[in-house]
């Protein structure tokens, strides 16, 4: 009988309140069921929000996470709750985007990770922030993130 890869997950299958901060959020991981294959995992979060650290006004982004797992996969509900923990978190776009990617790399230790933060305009200027760890394995197909650049009304 194989080991249950869901053992030890506290958030999956239970009622979980949104964490009040990214530091409080718990990212959970499961064993990669295909550790001998290189493949891409993609998560998109088209309605990410955080707060401007200067004005306190909400900032909005479309996030795209691409990674090639090694031993672990990030559990999707915990990732969703982690993203949700930024709703009342005041930080610049660069800090949110790079901080999320660095935490995932540190904890999950993927073979490769690419993270795109496509932020909606603040002060009339959209800010897009990108992070990548290492070199993508040559055998993995990685499609474009396909988030159109912000065009406004024209």
- CATH number of the domain residue 90 falls in: 3.30.1130.10
Provide the domain limits for residue 56: 36-133
Residue 22 lies in a domain: no
Residue 105 lies in a domain: yes
pLDDT bracket for residue 7 (50, 70, 90): low
What does the block give as tokens for 39? 């493949």
pLDDT score, position 122: 83
Q: Is 52 a catalytic residue?
A: yes
Beta-strand pair 72-74/112-119 = unpaired
pLDDT score, position 4: 47
Residue 11 lies in a domain: no
pLDDT score, position 16: 80
Q: Is 66 a catalytic residue?
A: no
How many domains does the chain fold into?
A: 1
Tens-digit pLDDT profile for residues 100-137: 999 999 999 999 999 999 999 988 889 999 999 999 99
Catalytic residue chosen out of the listed positions 45, 59, 66, 96: 59
What does the block give as tokens for 62? 């479309």
Residue 72 lies in a domain: yes
Residue 45 lies in a domain: yes
pLDDT score, position 11: 63
Tens-digit pLDDT profile for residues 25-58: 999 999 999 999 999 999 999 999 999 999 999 9
Residue 4 lies in a domain: no
Catalytic residue chosen out of the listed positions 52, 70, 95, 128: 52
Residue 152 lies in a domain: no
Residue 26 lies in a domain: no
Phi, psi of 72 (to 5 degrees): -125, 150
């Amino acid at each position: 009988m194989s080991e249950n890869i869901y053992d030890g997950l506290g958030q999956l299958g239970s009622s979980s309140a949104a964490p009040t901060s990214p530091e409080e959020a718990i990212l959970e991981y499961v064993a990669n069921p295909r550790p001998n294959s290189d493949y891409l995992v993609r998560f998109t979060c088209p309605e990410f929000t955080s707060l401007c650290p200067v004005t306190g006004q909400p900032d909005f982004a479309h996030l795209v996470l691409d990674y090639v797992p090694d031993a672990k996969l990030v559990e999707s509900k915990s990732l969703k709750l982690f993203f949700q923990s930024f709703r009342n978190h005041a930080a610049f776009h660069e800090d949110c985007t790079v901080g999320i990617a660095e935490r995932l790399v540190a904890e999950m230790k993927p073979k490769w990770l690419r993270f795109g933060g496509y932020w909606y305009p603040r002060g009339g200027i959209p800010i897009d922030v990108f992070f990548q760890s290492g070199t993508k394995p040559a055998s993995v197909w990685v499609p474009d993130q396909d988030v159109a650049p912000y065009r406004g009304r024209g």
